[in-house]
Amino acid sequence: DAGITQSPRYKITETGRQVTLMCHQTWSHSYMFWYRQDLGHGLRLIYYSAAADITDKGEVPDGYVVSRSKTENFPLTLESATRSQTSVYFCASLGVSGANVLTFGAGSRLTVL
Amino acid sequence: DQQVKQNSPSLSVQEGRISILNCDYTNSMFDYFLWYKKYPAEGPTFLISISSIKDKNEDGRFTVFLNKSAKHLSLHIVPSQPGDSAVYFCAASARWDTPLVFGKGTRLSVIA
């Protein structure tokens, strides 16, 4: 399927566990982003990547790790999940449109108990 | 400190009337401004954008106005429809390829 897909869509885990959220896009877009959405905070940038093997921190990177070995994939890993990381996570990609129009995935809802 | 502010968490409008959603920003380097719409359990979807060289952009029922001197933009929806009920996010960036900074969102309810 064309587009941007996230998996899993829903995940429940326990404090201290490692969790990886997957993001895959089929457009070969150079840029990819991870945002989290929390009540009262809107969408906050966690990490982004301008190309394969190039990543950079966003506003709230602590506790997260990313990698970009292939252009189409941008996984987000919580190395030791905490309750404060309970959130909805959105992956997005950006092509060369000149207008910064991000296309978002459907989201991954993560609950950390 | 918040660079993009949406001071109204919610807005309720009657069907057929105009909806006006407001957004303020503090970073004078911002040149690209976008509005996204989000339904529950879905990702945000792009609605309309404007660059700093314009003060208005229209797309059907949706119009975005930009006032750079006031660092303010607004989204007008005319006429409002029940299907417009969603959370609307304002976003901005300095360049086309720098990460978007989002506001906290405004929940619009269009009442039939």
- Give the tens place of pLDDT for each residue, A99-111: 788 999 999 999 9
Chain A residues closer than 8 Å to B41 by CB: 106-107
CA distance B5 to B89: 10
What is the overall mean pLDDT for chain A? 94
Chain B residues closer than 8 Å to A45 by CB: 99-101
Q: Is the dihedral of CA B95, B96, B97, B101 positive or negative?
A: positive
CB spacing of B46 vs A98 below 8 angstroms: no
Q: Which residue of B has its CA nearest to A41?
A: B104
In this complex, the residue of B41, B43, B104 whose CB is nearest that of residue A104 is: B43
Query: Which residue matches tokens 């190395």?
Result: A79
Question: For residue A6, which amino acid is it?
Answer: Q
Averaged over A63-86, what is the pLDDT?
Answer: 97
Chain A residues closer than 8 Å to B42 by CB: 106-107
Averaged over A29-35, what is the pLDDT?
Answer: 95
Please check whether residue A102 touches B, CB under 8 A: yes
In this complex, the residue of B89, B96, B102 whose CB is nearest that of residue A100 is: B96
Chain A residues closer than 8 Å to B45 by CB: 104
Contact by Cβ (8 Å): B33, B51: yes
Contact by Cβ (8 Å): B6, B104: yes
pLDDT in tens, B25-58: 999 999 999 999 999 999 999 999 999 999 999 9
